[in-house]
Chains A and B, each alone.
Chain A
Amino acid sequence: MQKEYTVTVYTEDRIGITNRITIIFTRRGINITSLTTAETEISGVYKFIITVMSTREKLDKVVGQIERLIEIHRAFVHEEDEVVYQELALYKISTKSLESGDIERLIRDHHARILTITADYFVIEKTGHQQELTDFIKKLEPYGLIEYSKSGRVAIVKWSRRFHEHLKELQASSEA
Chain B
Amino acid sequence: MLQKDVLPMKAEKADKRLSAKPVITGSEAVIRSLIAEGVDTIFGYPGGAIMPIYDALYDFQDQVHHILVRHEQGATHAAQGYARSSGKVGVAFATSGPGATNLVTGLADAYMDSTPMVCITGQVAASLLGTDAFQETDVIGITMPITKWNIQVTRQEDIPGAIAKAFYIARSGRPGPVLVDITKNAQVGECEYEYVPCTHIRSYQPVPELRLDAVKEAAALINSAKKPYLLVGHGVLLSGAEKELIALAEKAQIPMASTLLGLSAVPVDHPLYVGLLGMHGNYAPNILTGECDTVIAVGMRFDDRVTGDVSTYVANAKVIHIEIDAAEINKIIKADVALHADAKTALQALLKEVQPAKHDEWLAEFRAADKKEYDKVQHNELYPETGELKMAEVVRLISEKTKGEAVLVTDVGQHQMIASRYYRFKNPNTNITSGGMGTMGFSLPAAMGAKMGTPEKEVVAVIGDGCFQMTLQELGTIYQSKIGVKIVILNNNFLGMVRQWQQLFFDKRYSSTEMVNPDFVQIAKGFFIPGKKVTAREDISAAIDEMLATDGAYLLEVVVEKEDNVFPMIPAGTPVTTIRLE
* Interchain CA distance A110-B321 in the complex, whole Å: 54
Interfacial residues of chain B within 130-171, with CB under 8 A of chain A in the complex: 140-141, 144-145, 148-149, 152, 169
Does the CB pair A19–B141 fall under 8 Å?
yes
Please name the residue on chain A nearest to B149 by beta carbon: A70
Does the CB pair B201–A65 fall under 8 Å?
no
Give chain B's interface secondary structure class. mixed
A11 to chain B, nearest CB (A): 7
Which one, B145, B152, B169, B325, contacts A70 given CB within 8 A? B169
The verdict on A19 contacting B327 (CB below 8 Å), with A70-B201, A70-B203, A70-B204 known, is: no
The verdict on A12 contacting B203 (CB below 8 Å), with A19-B141, A23-B145, A68-B326 known, is: yes
Does the CB pair A71–B327 fall under 8 Å?
no
A165 to chain B, nearest CB (A): 15
Does the CB pair A170–B326 fall under 8 Å?
no
Residue A67 is within 8 A (CB to CB) of chain B in the complex? yes
A139 to chain B, nearest CB (A): 43
Residues of A within 8 A of B203 (CB): 11-12, 70-73
Residue B202 is within 8 A (CB to CB) of chain A in the complex? yes
Give 1 or 0 for each of A13-29: 1 = CB within 8 Å of chain B CB.
Answer: 00110011001000100
Does the CB pair B144–A173 fall under 8 Å?
no
B126 to chain A, nearest CB (A): 13
Does the CB pair B326–A64 fall under 8 Å?
yes
A63 to chain B, nearest CB (A): 9
Does the CB pair A19–B144 fall under 8 Å?
yes
A163 to chain B, nearest CB (A): 13
Number of B residues contacting the other chain (C-beta, 8 Å)? 18
The verdict on A27 contacting B145 (CB below 8 Å), with A64-B326, A70-B201, A71-B203 known, is: yes
Number of A residues contacting the other chain (C-beta, 8 Å)? 21
Interfacial residues of chain B within 320-341, with CB under 8 A of chain A in the complex: 325-327, 329-331
Does the CB pair B140–A16 fall under 8 Å?
yes
Does the CB pair A61–B331 fall under 8 Å?
yes
Please name the residue on chain A nearest to B152 by beta carbon: A15
Interfacial residues of chain B within 185-215, with CB under 8 A of chain A in the complex: 201-204
Residue A174 is within 8 A (CB to CB) of chain B in the complex? yes
B220 to chain A, nearest CB (A): 26
Interfacial residues of chain A within 125-176, with CB under 8 A of chain B in the complex: 170, 173-174
* Interchain CA distance A55-B204 in the complex, whole Å: 27
* Interchain CA distance A73-B201 in the complex, whole Å: 10
Residues of A within 8 A of B152 (CB): 15
Does the CB pair B202–A170 fall under 8 Å?
yes
* Interchain CA distance A61-B145 in the complex, whole Å: 16
B304 to chain A, nearest CB (A): 15
* Residue among B141, B148, B327 facing the most chain A CB atoms (10 A cut-off): B327
Residues of A within 8 A of B331 (CB): 61, 64
Does the CB pair A70–B327 fall under 8 Å?
no
Residues of A within 8 A of B169 (CB): 70
Which one, B140, B148, B149, B327, contacts A61 given CB within 8 A? B327
* Interchain CA distance A64-B201 in the complex, whole Å: 19
* Interchain CA distance A12-B203 in the complex, whole Å: 7
Does the CB pair B325–A68 fall under 8 Å?
yes
Does the CB pair B144–A64 fall under 8 Å?
no
Does the CB pair A70–B140 fall under 8 Å?
no
B130 to chain A, nearest CB (A): 12
* Interchain CA distance A174-B325 in the complex, whole Å: 24
Which one, B141, B202, B327, B330, contacts A174 given CB within 8 A? B202
B259 to chain A, nearest CB (A): 20
Residues of B within 8 A of A73 (CB): 202-203
Does the CB pair B204–A173 fall under 8 Å?
no
Does the CB pair B149–A67 fall under 8 Å?
no
Residues of B within 8 A of A72 (CB): 203
Residues of B within 8 A of A67 (CB): 326-327
Does the CB pair B327–A65 fall under 8 Å?
yes
B190 to chain A, nearest CB (A): 24
* Interchain CA distance A67-B204 in the complex, whole Å: 9
Does the CB pair B144–A23 fall under 8 Å?
yes
Residues of A within 8 A of B204 (CB): 70-71
* Interchain CA distance A73-B203 in the complex, whole Å: 5
Interfacial residues of chain A within 46-69, with CB under 8 A of chain B in the complex: 60-61, 64-65, 67-68
Please name the residue on chain B nearest to A61 by beta carbon: B331
* Interchain CA distance A2-B331 in the complex, whole Å: 18
* Interchain CA distance A137-B434 in the complex, whole Å: 57
* Interchain CA distance A67-B329 in the complex, whole Å: 13
* Residue among B145, B152, B203, B326 facing the most chain A CB atoms (10 A cut-off): B203
* Interchain CA distance A67-B325 in the complex, whole Å: 10
Between-chain CB contacts (< 8 Å), 11 pairs: A11-B203, A12-B203, A16-B140, A23-B145, A61-B330, A61-B331, A64-B331, A65-B327, A68-B325, A68-B327, A71-B203
User: Which residues of A come within 8 Å of B, CB atoms?
Assistant: 11-12, 15-16, 19-20, 23, 27, 60-61, 64-65, 67-68, 70-73, 170, 173-174
User: Which 7 pairs from chain A and chain B are nearest by CB?
Assistant: A64-B327, A68-B327, A70-B149, A65-B327, A73-B203, A70-B204, A174-B202
